[in-house]
Amino acid sequence: MDLFEPCYEWHDAELVKAAGVYPYFRVLSASEGPVVTVDGRPVVMLGSNNYLGLTHHPAVLRAAHDAIDRYGTGCTGSRFLNGNIELHESLERELAEFTGKEAALVFSSGFLANFGVLGLLGATEGCVLFSEAGNHASLIDGTRLSRAEVHVFDGPDDLAGQLSTQPEWRHALVVTDAVFSMTGKVVDLKRLVELRRKHHFRLYVDDAHGFGVLGRQGRGVTDALGVTPEVDLLFATFSKSLASLGGFVAGERPVIDYLRHKVRTVIFSAALPPPSAAAALAALRVMREDGSLFERLWENVHFFREGVEKLGYYTMGSTTPIVPLFVGSESLAFRLCRDALQMGVFATPAIFPAVPLGQALMRTSVIPAHTRAQLKKALEVFATLMDRYPVLRVDSTHLPTAEEMDFSYLFEQSA
């Protein structure tokens, strides 16, 4: 078989485009943070991870410009050899201090951090990995790269059950998201930490969506729950609250030093570009200094989440700025995002494998810079969608399975 045959025969995207509901690779021609321009029209952005809205903060913009003036646009090599600049080192020092860890290591993207670190640590002889079922793709791919024995667990109770049936694992590493990126649900880290005390495993926590949002000055979920000292490696990305690109892991100094010299995604990949490093550092400083950001963020989150819940949407237990609207059917999720955009609101669909099959959702999130008028407008749009597709009003104690969804209803709508 020609290796490219699956590519030639793959028509899913074309079919979805032909149905007029293709939701991916939308082109933005301008962005102000809470509002972006799509097809020449301003729309309210509810589909970003810009949780503090710092992508357009004057201090962050200035830092990125200054870094370009001083270092140029790129590092043209890995940090290991020629691309290590003062900004990377300052960022690592401030992140270590901020998270209360001994040291931190900066990567060119969050994906590269998870992928590289788990790929390396998991390859340690005898390592057994326990990976939470809802983990982000970068964690899953890191566990695969390692070729370690991997056990998937579904919540702390399941992990406890699996650990109790196994002999003491000397090299077990438990890996979990702190906040699930699609549903906004926070993991019970306190319980995981109790299990760590009992079973002596190492704990790796990905706080991509909690960092900059929860905890003191945005120190994240581990801080909010008071468990940071018992998290062996703490990961977060710069591509969300820190308004940039890149990511870091923080932990004990000897571990970070080992990673610094061994992780292939550091050694064999070009360093985080100067403006990205500068933007992340400036965003971290703004986040530490400006408490009003959090006040405005949470006011907006509560207003919007309560608003959509009043309309009858099921928000899947989220307690974070991620406000998922349960849909169930994938095609309906596509249709809703298309309709919302036509009415001036940008939201994104989440379908399998980002969520379990039959649990498609429309993912929304709010930021401090959203005005009340923008959020009210969004609520009006979601009210219209609820009128148009009453199937969205589900009983959260009995979610419909994919088979139970009334698909004929959708065909009537499209006729």
Ligand X SMILES: Cc1ncc(COP(=O)(O)O)c(C=O)c1O
Residue numbers at the binding site for ligand X (CB under 6 A):
109-111, 114, 136, 138, 177, 181, 206, 208-209, 237, 239, 247
Residue 146, token pair as written in the block: 């390692």
Q: Which is nearer to ligand X, 239 or 374 (CB)?
A: 239
Instruction: Please count the other Cβ atoms lying within 10 Å of the Cβ belonging to residue 385.
Output: 23
Question: How buried is residue 68: exposed, middle or buried, by Cβ count under 10 Å (0-12/13-18/19+)?
Answer: middle
Residue nearest to ligand X (CB): 110
Q: Which of 364, 340, 363, 356 is nearest to 401 (CA)?
A: 356
Q: How far is the CB of 234 from ligand X (least distance, A)?
A: 12
CB of 245 to ligand X, least distance (A): 7
Complex with ligand X: residue 233 or 386, whichever CB lies closer = 233
Least separation in angstroms between residue 181's CB and ligand X is 4
Distances (CA, A) of 354 to 60, 349, 358, 364: 31, 10, 11, 15
Judge contact between 83 and 71, C-beta under 8 A. Answer: no
CB of 187 to ligand X, least distance (A): 11
Q: Is 48 a catalytic residue?
A: no
181 is catalytic: yes
Instruction: Find the catalytic residue in 185, 240, 269, 365.
Output: 240
> Do the Cβ atoms of 407 and 77 come closer than 8 Å?
no
Residue 109 vs 269, nearer CB to ligand X: 109
Residue 194 CB, nearest approach to ligand X (Å):
23
SS (H, E, C) 143-195: HHHHCCEEEEECCHHHHHHHHHHCCCCCCEEEEEECECCCCCCECCHHHHHHH
240 tagged catalytic: yes
Among residues 108, 146, 181, 239, which one is catalytic?
A: 181
Residue 176 or 331: the one with the smaller Cβ distance to ligand X is 176
237 contacts: CB under 8 Å, gap ≥ 6: 109, 110, 113, 208, 211, 246, 247
247 or 251: whose CB is closer to ligand X? Answer: 247
Catalytic residue chosen out of the listed positions 57, 151, 185, 209: 209
* Residues annotated catalytic, as ranges: 181, 209, 240
